[in-house]
Structure 1
Amino acid sequence: MKAKLTATASLMAGALALSACGGNTSSGTAGGGDAAGLDGRGPITYVQGKDNSNVVRPLIEKWNAAHPDEKVTLKEQTDQPDQQHDDLVQHFQAKDPNYDVMSVDLVWTAEFAAKGWLQPLKDKMAIDTTGILPSIVEGASYKDTLYTAPQHSDGGILYYRKDLVPTPPKTWAEMREMCSIAKANNIGCFAGQYKQYEGLTVNASEAINSAGGSVLDKDGKPSLNTPEAKEGLGNLVKAFTDGSIPKEAITYQEEEGRRAFQDGNLLFHRNWPYLYNLATTEGSSKVKDVLGMTALPGKDGPGASSLGGHNVGVSVYSKNKATALDFLKFMTSEETQRFYATQGSLAPVLGNLYEDQKLVAKLPYLPVLKTSIENAVPRPVTPFYPAVTQAIQENSYAALKGEKSAEQALSDMQKSIETAGAGS
């Protein structure tokens, strides 16, 4: 899941929060969907973010060649997930029938399903989830109903320089000790994604979860005033304060950090699997021959990555849902899963592919990724997600910049999430 979100204006963020707290605005209802168009066939539009690794275009070309009367048009959004989210919300609210199928970030599912915007994948629209990792199916569901078809998963990976670090760290403390190696080589020690955008929610949540804390408890209420949460966010704050995380990393999204690592300016870098394909094939990459991969470090062992990924959903307003369903099945087939993995370093949703030796030979990060996904924790699952992620971003960012202590940031985060409705 590349979580490359840039913060939107505060008015837009406020509107999203209000939208999340409001009532159902669609003709469908959560769990019910809309019976219109279930038998409809014809051209459809597929909407997703920028196709950086050229994964989707070849698939659509293949589909169109086989379905000349049901061609798919790709509507490519920006590469900023908050802008992708806002675009989908606007078209859902307008009941636009021309956004038939869309790529849905894992954390949008609850919001979109609660609003009645996604067609439930049951009964006539059911898909077979046999063989898909259970946690991934759960992430594609809301209130025990499948609303999106698992497309590809994601888990954070710690990339490192094998020429400088023969044995990778297993814990946060071990990684911090290795920062002396970075200093000796005049490079930064560690970086993730710390700009005020969705990537910061991912990184802050990982820090909190990896220290044994959680953003929301099992009942969906904020749980941030704990020693574990303070330790987790405090780890990032201390690393910024002492320079273990370079000060310029406060501006990093996925691509800025990737380039810094590929240019040889970082010892360790937290990013998604997509980095592997680019770091080992781009001619300018200085780490292609020394690229190491391991699980994110935690308190006593592997850390808790934020479970990522994108799924594909059908709009309740689509007039050609029969075609849309067939396209969903095509986009989530095993053949397509293999193409996602080999073409774009995208994590498969089918468990058997992690054991496929031919695939592992091509993609040696798969065992590490499996460990990451097995230890992964979803970002907060709530219909109020836009307001929750805004609270996490704003307060974590203030702490990383030194404007608040970690404890104060967490206290303010708790209050903001409660105000948004997730604490009720």
Structure 2
Amino acid sequence: MKTAPFCVIAGIAIAGLALSGCSSSSGGSGDDTSGRGPITYVQGKDNSNVVRPLIAKWNAAHPKEKVTFKEQSDNADQQHDDLVQHFQAKDSGYDVVDVDVVWTGEFAAKGWLQPLTGKMKIDTSGLLKPTIDSATYNGTLYAAPQTSDGGLLYYRTDLVSTPPATWDDMIKDCSIATQAGIGCYAGQFSQYEGLTVNVAEAINTAGGTVVASDGKTPTLNTADAKKGLGRLVDAYKNGDIPQEAITYQEEQGRQAFEAGKLLFLRNWPYVYSLAKTDGSSTVKDTFAVAPLPGDDGPGASSLGGHNAAISTYSTHKATAHDFLEFLESDTTQKFFATQGSLAPVRASLYDDSALAEQLPYLPTLKTSIEHAVPRPVTPFYPAVTKAIQDNAYAAIKGDKSVDQALSDMQAAIKSASSGN
């Protein structure tokens, strides 16, 4: 999921890596967790200048355990492939790595991430539960929740006085959009990762799931999954989702909303400040945010964000562990929010009145994250997301029935998880 200022996609990650100065040594076995010394931290492009100040602060306090920052590009596929390359080489030069929430299962299943158990355990008591879930695979924590994200419903306050609490309420309000001569609702429906985010939200909100807790067994042959995908299909067919929205990624939806062409928009928090400050925005003073609408209250946003994980091959795991705790501290988490507009993972910061004054969407975002569900945590994520994208896109366009799309998704995920 891409985070652009925030996470332009719930999790479509930001990053890809310029390869330079990497060690090819095989590193640790995963058993020795007592090593201390300098470490490297690998993360995507630091566009908001968040990482460098934090590392400088760490290094000033830990002169014998300094952190070197290896900055990646802003391309998610490149970041993923680079990390895979270095893990496969058993490179001890990548001690702590920034992991998109959807990569946890894949990397953990391959034995590349140090389990955060025993002496490596971290305190998660103050963290939002969905962020912990996003860092957990098969019941074991493999990463430290670092930054989060959740979907929000942007709505026009000059056209609706109260945001819809449920999906059905929102669809009823589409008559207001029709009277105003604008589109009703849009999300991210182009055939890319954003569609996986939106479809997973629809299915989870309806009470369904994509895969079982084992990360392997598809669970799409249910009435709940049919209800969830069917809502999107019906809304597009009926015109409640405008025809052009089938091409929308995050930015196209944002631009349409700012131009006054939409009553409702599902998007990430980064849109808030832009809609308030863009010179071309026509809705600066006429929009607000609400949780995504569900069946009888807030819906299930797809959880975005990134986690910090320790490589199995690091030789300085004790230092790496302490650096994870530093990233999760109240001070660091507040800096993420104020400096980079990144959603903190510590629950208490969402109730910080001074912080909420700076970032007015925080209380709503907290509700979104509390009801969020990670996209499928699975070691076969690339195959799972492709199955969702291909078949949901065909269903929304009307090229497949909902039943056929879900059946084909089910079969594709089952095939991938069985190695066929």
Of the three residues 170, 183, 188, the one matched with 1:188 is 183
Cα displacement (A) at 1:409: 0.5
Aligned to 1:153: 148
Give the conservation status (yes or no) of the 8 Å contact 1:46–1:102: yes
**Cα RMSD (Å) of the superposition?**
2.8
Aligned to 2:82: 87
Name 1:135's counterpart in structure 2: 130
Match of 1:417 among 410, 413, 417: 413
- Native 8 Å contact 2:154 2:287 kept in 1: yes
Tell me what 2:317 maps to: 321
User: Is this contact kept in 2: 1:82–1:198, CA < 8 A?
Assistant: no
Show CA shifts across 1:161-184 (max 9, x none): 212221111111221222233333
Letter in 2 for 1:171: T
Equivalences for residues 317-396 of structure 1 within 5 A = 317-396=313-392
Contact 1:111 1:385 in 2 (8 A): yes
For residue 161 of structure 2, the aligned residue among 166, 174, 191 is 166
- Say if 2:103 is the partner of 1:108: yes
Distance in 1 (CA, whole Å) between partners of 2:402 and 2:378 is 24
Alignment-derived partner of residue 197 in structure 2: 202
Query: TM-score scaled by structure 1?
Result: 0.85
Amino acid aligned to 2:303 = L
Contact 1:276 1:345 in 2 (8 A): no
Judged with a 3 Å threshold, the aligned counterparts in structure 2 of structure 1 residues 78 and 339 are, in CA distance, closer, same or farther, namely same
Aligned equivalents of 2:59, 2:284: Cα separation in 1: 36
- Give the aligned residue type for 1:85: H
Residue by residue, what CA displacement relative to the aligned partner does 1:135-172 show, whole Å, maximum 9, x if unpaired? 32233122333211111222211111212221111111
Contact 1:140 1:149 in 2 (8 A): yes
Q: Cα gap change, 1:373/1:5 in structure 2, threshold over 3 Å: closer, same or farther?
A: closer
Structure 1: distance between partners of 2:118 and 2:365: 33
Q: Distance in 2 between matches of 1:230 and 1:177?
A: 21
Structure 1 Cα separation of the partners of residues 91 and 260 of structure 2: 46
Residue equivalent to 2:18: none
Give 1:281 shift. Answer: 3.7
Following the alignment from structure 2 to structure 1, what is the Cα–Cα distance between the partners of residues 296 and 347?
Answer: 26
Cα deviations by residue, 1:31-85 (Å, 9 ceiling, x for unpaired): x96246852422524222x445443344344445555662422412324x34432
**C-alpha separation in 2, matches of 1:411 and 1:36:** 46
Q: Is the 8 A contact 2:126 2:346 kept in 1?
A: yes
Is the partner of 2:221 in helix, strand or coil?
A: coil
Letter of the structure 1 residue corresponding to residue 359 of structure 2: L
Alpha-carbon distance between aligned partners in 1 of 2:171 and 2:188, rounded to the nearest angstrom? 18
Deviation at 1:306, TM superposition (A): 1.6
Contact preservation (8 Å) 2:128, 2:370 = no
Q: 1:264 to 1:34 in 2, by over 3 A?
A: same
Aligned CA distance change for structure 1 residues 99 and 238 (closer, same or farther; 3 Å): same
Partner of 2:240: 244
> What is the DSSP-based 3-state SS (H/G/I as helix, E as strand, rest coil) of the residue aligned with 2:257?
helix
Q: Which runs of 5+ in 1 are unaligned?
A: 7-25
Counterparts of 2:11 and 2:121 in 1: how far apart (Å)?
31
- Measured after TM superposition, the shift of residue 298 of structure 1 is 1.5
The one-letter code sitting in structure 2 at the alignment partner of 1:117 is W
Task: Quickly say closer, same or farther: Cα 1:92–1:226, change in 2 above 3 A.
Answer: same
Taking a change above 3 Å as real, the CA distance of residues 199 and 266 of structure 1, as seen in their structure-2 partners, is same
Are residues 67 and 262 of structure 1, via their aligned partners in 2, closer, same or farther at CA, if it must alter by over 3 Å? Answer: farther
Which residue is 1:306 aligned to? 302
Retained in 2: the 8 A contact 1:4–1:197? no
Q: 1:74 to 1:191 in 2, by over 3 A?
A: farther
Task: Name whichever of 172-181 and 414-423 sits farther off.
Answer: 414-423
The answer to whether the aligner puts 1:76 opposite 2:72 as a matched pair is yes
Match of 1:3 in 2: 10
Which stretch has the larger CA shift, 184-193 or 296-305? 184-193
SS of residue matched to 1:85: helix
Paired residues of 1:105 and 1:310 also in contact (CA < 8 A) = yes
Count of matched residue pairs: 400
Which segment is superposed worse, 226-235 or 271-280? 271-280
Query: Does the CA contact (< 8 Å) of 2:138 and 2:213 recur in 1?
Result: no
Change (3 A) 1:33 1:203: farther
Deviating more after overlay: 406-415 vs 105-114? 105-114
Amino acid at match of 1:3: A
C-alpha spacing 1:56/1:27, structure 2 compared with 1 (3 Å): closer
Instruction: Please tell me whether the aligned partners of residues 12 and 100 of structure 2 are also in contact (alpha carbons under 8 angstroms).
Output: no
Q: CA deviation at 1:219?
A: 5.6
How far residue 118 of structure 1 moved from its aligned partner, in angstroms, is: 0.9
Deviation readout 1:176-196 (Å, 9 max, x if unpaired): 222233333333221111222
Q: Does the CA-based 8 Å contact 1:277-1:345 persist in structure 2?
A: no
CA distance in 2, matches of 1:84, 1:42: 23
TM-score of the two chains, using structure 2 as the length reference: 0.85
AA aligned to 2:93 is N
Which AA in structure 1 matches 2:321? Answer: L
Separation in 1 of the partners of 2:275 and 2:46? 17
